[in-house]
Chain A
């Protein structure tokens, strides 16, 4: 029978008492001599020493305690400190109230709780942006792949560590807020999966050793420090977040990731100044921001440099960052997304909405000013892909082993000007069409199109109602060929034969319009009626002229016909009263007269006036043409074809 491993003893290096609070812990760092002490059977062995921890400004410490999910207490019993190109972060080893253990990772103000998962199939290698299913957990997307170095340790640890070792890890996110880390170690063993979720600082209910609740902000914003290069005062607005600060006095880029300021580089003096001063505060889309950093980025497409500006905004309330992007006078508000929320192929999909691939360029940081939460450096490059669905967009930035997605919202210059009290921004007209600028006439077109369609429907209804009012036939006279050649026929100076007709008198009731219709059995000839409807009392006459004809033939082997045997004309009423119709019926000289029929009736509507009204209602159809021109102008700024095919980036 094996004896239980002792939980208390003495440091083999200095003799100081050591204690293992958690049975799962296999190592601890001696609080006195900083030796790494490993439990090996019944013995303790010192396997090395750790260096001093790098101050990260964390409020969490050994002995801190908290509650997860409202009812699962935990204690902080150990700490590992990692360093990579973007700075330093802490991972806290926590003992859970149910006897299990896990990690509480803290980076850039965000917190992640994970615990070690049982073995299951995992991909042998991953890359940023890759998505895959993890058995029992669902679909995850890789946010970053990095090889961070262990630079410090404190308290208990689940496994012995060696300072300087650099395990390969990948951070994953799932659609429902899940978070996981794949630890590939040095690649010699199967990857280990840690899974959990991102939690807010408040949800941890953290307290210190004495039971005092931990506040989120340990150091006041706006901390006054001095530039190590020129001695000028530095105002660091978000000391807990900032990794890089540019001295506004000497333009030196300073690193703050290891506690004290360290000069990274002397930047070229700014060729441009931000149009909104650093430190400006404002409210955009309901969120209060402080402008803490500004950078100029650019890309080169077909040999032409396209610059744009990015302002880094800090939202104190939500403890998160956003960006204000300016390009050619067009403004966008950009906010970070989880990599798991976006599915990208040729186009991108986010929250069920499809975004079209608009551009794919290599972006380069040309100039920086202010403070940043990542290790920014002039000259940094990344692959940028933008997807649009105006007034929204998505932007993917790939570089340094990580992928980041941001959501873009179009902002009118006036909105930015009001938010940061910069009225001058309104006076500057944006150039061209913005990447996610909505067509400014959407609202007008939307209203007009509804009224246009409604008006057209109403017009058709009116037409139907008027068509139901059947017209009264006033004259209906048929003329045979023999009749037309009878007594009332004469020859007029032009040579045409004319048959005069005088209708019986009839009583015209109203002032409504009349329709005169001439039909004939003409074949390769014409018939013509010219005359007037005459009010016998007033002498008022409404003249008319109608032609009926029919022609056919064969041209180049194709048969054609022009059939206009029934023709009509609208005329105004000569007024109510006793009325008659006089008409001269003509036909082509040298041809026998075709049989004709002359009808006069009241007309309830004019089909031509119907089409005229339809045309009058249709003029808003110019708006879709304007929209097409607007979209053409937008896509002229793309280096991809609208269909998603590549253009020519250098």
Chain B
């Protein structure tokens, strides 16, 4: 058990260091590919969700 935990500690430290150095982040939104023609149009990359509901945050 203690051997496994030692390995666990080293793995956790390594994982944190690797995540910090590589830029990997947990729970970030997935990347998309946007066509250049769309990119040149303001608002063109907006999602379906954006157009149909917009942000309804706040109190």
Contacts and interface: CB of A to CB of B under 8 A. Distances in A.
B53 to A, nearest CB: 5
Given A492-B54, A526-B59, A606-B25, 5 more contacts: A444-B1, A510-B23, A539-B33, A542-B31, A584-B43
Please provide the 8 A-B residue pairs with the shortest distance between their CB atoms, ordered closest to farther.
A494-B54, A513-B23, A512-B23, A526-B58, A455-B9, A605-B20, A613-B16, A447-B2
A496 B8 contact: no
A608 to B, nearest CB: 7
A459 B13 contact: yes
A448 B5 contact: yes
Contact of B54 (A496, A541, A582): A496
Contacts of A511: 22-23
A609 B26 contact: yes
Given A466-B20, A541-B45, A613-B13, A494 B53 contact: yes
Interface of B: 1-2, 5-6, 8-9, 12-13, 15-17, 19-26, 28-29, 31-36, 39, 42-43, 45-46, 50-59
Interface in A419-460: 444, 447-448, 451-452, 454-455, 458-459
A497 B52 CA distance: 14
- Chain A interface extent, by class: 35 or more
A570 B21 CA distance: 14
Contacts of A530: 46, 50, 55
Contacts of B17: 462
A609 B51 contact: no
Contact of B33 (A524, A540, A545): A540
Contacts of B52: 493-494
Nearest to B36: A539
Contacts of A605: 19-20
A547 to B, nearest CB: 5
A549 interface: yes
Given A493-B52, A606-B19, A617-B9, A551 B34 contact: no
B32 A541 contact: yes
A503 to B, nearest CB: 12
Interface string A495-526: 11010101000000011111000000000111
A541 B31 contact: yes
Contacts of B8: 616-617
A197 B6 CA distance: 55
Contacts of B26: 606, 608-609, 612
Contacts of A494: 52-56
Max count, chain A CB within 10 A of own CB: residue among B1, B20, B35, B36: B20
Given A539-B36, A541-B31, A547-B57, A584 B50 contact: yes
A580 B5 CA distance: 44
Contact of B12 (A510, A586, A616): A616
A584 B23 contact: no
Contacts of A496: 54-56
5 contacts: A455-B12, A496-B54, A572-B23, A573-B23, A609-B20
A513 B56 contact: no
Given A462-B20, A574-B31, A613 B58 contact: no
A466 to B, nearest CB: 5
Max count, chain A CB within 10 A of own CB: residue among B26, B31, B32, B42: B31
Contacts of B5: 447-448, 451-452, 620
A570 B28 contact: yes
B55 A586 contact: yes
Contacts of B54: 492-496, 498, 586
Contacts of B2: 444, 447-448, 451
A571 interface: yes
A490 B12 CA distance: 47
Contacts of A612: 26
A536 interface: yes
Nearest to B19: A609
A542 B1 CA distance: 41
B10 to A, nearest CB: 8
A572 B57 contact: no
A505 to B, nearest CB: 11
Contacts of B19: 605-606, 609
Contacts of A572: 23-25, 28, 31
Contacts of A451: 2, 5-6, 9
